[in-house]
Structure 1
Amino acid sequence: MIHVSALTIAAGRAAHLRNVVAGFQAQHHKPSELIIGVMQDDEYTDLPATDFPIRQIRVTAPELPLSAARNAVADAATGEMLVFVDVDCIPAPDFITGYLDRMAGHRGLFMGEVMYLPHNTSDAGLDFDRFAAIAVKHSDRQGPPAAGLEACADYRCFWSLNFALWRQDWLDGPRFDEAFTGYGGEDTDFGRAWSESGAPIWWIAGGRVYHQYHPHCMPPVHHLHSVLRNTEVFARKWGHRTMEHWLYAFKLMGLIRNTTDGLKVLREPGPAEFALCEQQGHMPYANSRRVIDHLHMQAQDGRISAERTVREQRALLLPAAE
């Protein structure tokens, strides 16, 4: 039997975490352990009873230490296989078996399926049949293959929301770069480092999680400053910025400007920007494309072509030319 370490990181979201724990207890192939990277002062209490041990590792910093917390839980893992889920993702009962079936004989990073639940659907306990009937896919994310696994050719698609790898690959491969603090960029950097190492990134059919509804902003105007800081961390490392679709949205909103000396904040986001970017109760997920399309429609020159959008986003990858 292959021993699996289930890993998550959390700050707040206690009700979501309880559902994550219950989801792992419902697995057909239960994990040998669950390790929680706790990014707050106090450990979590009142977690559901499980047949496997739960360990909590505190990793705190002035801003969310997402990279450091993921490194800490992976380093502490003892299983042969490591599965990561975010605290807002409930693993389906065949989550672990799906990964085991697809990963056999392969190495690399493996990304499972993510389905989004509407508002108030995970508050009353876990009903996986209902979840399967009402959850939806994200319109901006590549869907899983019909069966088996499929190579992911673009490292920018890597997303730590739901992924797995063999422990030996973790020990031998890149880590999450702890120079990224707060929100944004650490996943893209990890995918880039993994791609540069020559190891593959895979989409798989299976390994499903159900993303629990919680209101947030996309693009993340509430994390404007950490996104700007982290895109420059990425640029110093790889020669160009990342998160260009968010930067483009910030530019369209008049929040930033690209200069020869770097990205400059013109003003802080206000009520109009938060109202535009916030996830509303009828939305299973927030969507940057929706916001960018809305801003395009408001532009004086009307609808902006996809080619122009790509060109203007790419222009934000480097400082403005003199």
Structure 2
Amino acid sequence: MISLSVVTLAKGRPDHLVNVVRGLSMQTVMPSELIVAVMQEEEYRLPDAPFPIRQMRITGESLPLAAARNAAARAAVGEWLVFLDMDCIPTPTLIADYAGFLKAHDALLMGEVMYLPGGATAGDWSCDAFAAIAEKHSDRRGPPASGVERCQDYRCFWSLNFAMRRDTFLSVGGFDERYVGYGGEDTDFGKVVDRAGVAIAWIKGGLAYHQHHPHHMPPVHHLDSVVRNAELFEAKWGYRTMGHWLHAFRLMGLVDDTPGQPIRILRRPEAGDLALTGQQSHQPYANSARVLRLLEAEAARTAAPDRASVAVAA
């Protein structure tokens, strides 16, 4: 029997968490337990499962993601940890895949993620049905053709679906709990792991299907925490992270992120900003690259008359 705990963070979206439990209950190899770090007042009503489920209340600010992951990892009984977001339905071999790779590799291992459109879980609830309609995220690289492939850039780490040996996770100190709210804590953790000499790698397998939910990319709805966490990262490492989001915020007139100065929020997001960045019901995922292309094209059009005026004056 393997010794592996699954960790997920939960706030709202009870149907998504129920689907995670359903997916874990269909595994070819069962986990030792599921730990749910609950970031809301009430616990969840979850279906029975062939493994223990523990719900831990996490107190603190609205989204204490780093602290929640650390608390769940410390409480886990498994020698190995799989971190799976509550909107990710595991395929039947996810646990077996991770267990096989963790046995051979003391590394941070990143599994595959495919994205479902709205309504996908309301009909034929099966991974075969999901496979027929799921899409790969255009901004994320895919898995290797087979086995394990080491990642040379810690910035590629994404906490959506990953696994580590518990002792290794704790030895590097876990996530920095000063990061509160959305943004920055993943890149920080990737850098910490890389600095500790622990390999970051993609695996072929460990596939999960991401459930559709409304989202914004770039995350204008998390403007304050992105700014705060970018400045925390800079104070810690000497440079800012989330540069593509800050670039988009600057083009939208939301921030002034002049290098060497504190980031200033110039205005609050309005309806037009939310409409531009919002995920539509037919889209499996929100896409920062798409929005940036639109913003940069608009900035180029706006700048063109100014350049023409300068040329005439000259």
- Shared fold (TM-score, shorter chain, > 0.5): yes
Cα deviation, 1:196-248, whole Å, max 9, x if unaligned, reads 11110010000000000001100000000110000111111111110000000
Aligned residue in 2 for 1:33: 33
How far residue 111 of structure 1 moved from its aligned partner, in angstroms, is 0.2
The whole-number CA distance in structure 2 between the counterparts of 1:125 and 1:184 is 34
- Verify: 1:126 aligned to 2:110, yes or no: no
Aligned residue in 1 for 2:308: none
Aligned residue in 1 for 2:82: 83
How far residue 303 of structure 1 moved from its aligned partner, in angstroms, is 11
SS of 1:56's partner is strand
Within-5 A mapping of 1:277-288: 277-288=277-288
The whole-number CA distance in structure 2 between the counterparts of 1:62 and 1:171 is 23
Is the Cα–Cα contact under 8 Å of residues 174 and 194 in structure 1 kept in the other structure? no
- Verify: 1:61 aligned to 2:35, yes or no: no
Aligned residue in 2 for 1:256: 255
Amino acid paired to 2:15: A
The whole-number CA distance in structure 2 between the counterparts of 1:51 and 1:215 is 31
The whole-number CA distance in structure 2 between the counterparts of 1:300 and 1:99 is 46
SS of 2:257's partner is strand
How far residue 168 of structure 1 moved from its aligned partner, in angstroms, is 1.9
How far residue 126 of structure 1 moved from its aligned partner, in angstroms, is 2.6
How far residue 171 of structure 1 moved from its aligned partner, in angstroms, is 2.8
Larger Rg: 2
Within-5 A mapping of 1:1-322: 1-45=1-45, 47-124=46-123, 126-259=125-258, 260-301=260-301
The whole-number CA distance in structure 1 between the counterparts of 2:224 and 2:166 is 34
Give structure 1 regions of 4+ aligned residues with deviation exceeding 4 angstroms: 301-304
- The alignment's C-alpha RMSD in Å is 1.5
How far residue 124 of structure 1 moved from its aligned partner, in angstroms, is 4.0
Amino acid paired to 1:122: T
The whole-number CA distance in structure 1 between the counterparts of 2:101 and 2:204 is 8
The whole-number CA distance in structure 2 between the counterparts of 1:182 and 1:80 is 28
Amino acid paired to 2:184: G
SS of 2:244's partner is helix
Is the Cα–Cα contact under 8 Å of residues 297 and 303 in structure 1 kept in the other structure? no
Number of corresponding residues: 303
Residues 303/114 of structure 1: CA separation in 2 closer, same or farther (3 Å cut): farther
The whole-number CA distance in structure 1 between the counterparts of 2:124 and 2:153 is 36
Cα deviation, 1:30-81, whole Å, max 9, x if unaligned, reads 1110000000011111x11111110000002232100010001111111121
Cα deviation, 1:140-193, whole Å, max 9, x if unaligned, reads 101100100100111111111000011221232231111000111011110010
User: Percent of aligned pairs with the same residue?
Assistant: 56
How far residue 100 of structure 1 moved from its aligned partner, in angstroms, is 1.9
How far residue 301 of structure 1 moved from its aligned partner, in angstroms, is 4.2
How far residue 104 of structure 1 moved from its aligned partner, in angstroms, is 2.8
Aligned residue in 1 for 2:307: none
Is the Cα–Cα contact under 8 Å of residues 2 and 31 in structure 2 kept in the other structure? no
Flag structure 1 segments of 5+ consecutive residues without an equivalent.
Answer: 305-322
Bigger shift: 209-218 or 125-134? 125-134
Is the Cα–Cα contact under 8 Å of residues 174 and 190 in structure 1 kept in the other structure? no
The whole-number CA distance in structure 2 between the counterparts of 1:106 and 1:16 is 31
How far residue 302 of structure 1 moved from its aligned partner, in angstroms, is 7.7
